[in-house]
Amino acid sequence: MAAKLIGAERVYLVDNDALAIDIASKNGRLNGLDELTVLLSDGFKDLRETGFTQILCNPPYHTDFHVPKQFIHKGFNRLLVGGKLWMVTQRQLWYRNKLRAIFGKVVEHNMPPYTVFEAIKTSPRYANAT
């Protein structure tokens, strides 16, 4: 949907699961999104691009917090000031605290059983030392 709204050439799909990448690639082709970049990567590890205005992510939240912590820190660093990190989860407390510590400004959109966090980068520096 994002690729259809803003142009496939501006969208990067990243996952560390080869099957997810294969399905996303096929889905992109079926929807005429030939310029879509689909990349097998552990988070941002193999993605070199920066200067994003929006990052949408759905990290695993039923395990430890190592993966979402990386998404939050690395996502902050990849965003332009004014950019937003959108993160969906079913576990609110840890995410709320972590996102506020890094971004400062966080809006919560409750869609039971999920919460979508909208973290807004208002400064080039983390809001609080973590």
pLDDT digits (tens, 9 = 90+) for 4-26: 999 999 999 999 999 999 999 99
What is the pTM assigned to this prediction? 0.91
Identify the CA nearest to 75 among candidates 20, 119, 15. 119
Would the pLDDT of 130 be above 70? no
The pLDDT tens digits for 36-58 are: 999 999 889 999 999 999 999 99
User: In the chain, pLDDT over 70 holds for what percent of residues?
Assistant: 97
Domains and CATH numbers, the chain: 1-49 (no CATH), 50-130 (3.40.50.150)
CA angle 96–47–39, rounded 5-degree value: 100
What is the pLDDT, as a whole number, of residue 82? Answer: 97
| Distance of alpha carbon 86 from alpha carbon 39, whole angstroms | 19
Overall average pLDDT of the 77-102 stretch: 95
User: In the chain, pLDDT over 90 holds for what percent of residues?
Assistant: 85
Identify the CA nearest to 91 among candidates 67, 57, 114, 125. 114
Q: Is 98 helix (H, G, I), strand (E, B) or coil?
A: helix
Write down the mean pLDDT value for the chain. Answer: 93
- Say which range, 75-79, 90-94, 125-129, has the weakest mean pLDDT: 125-129
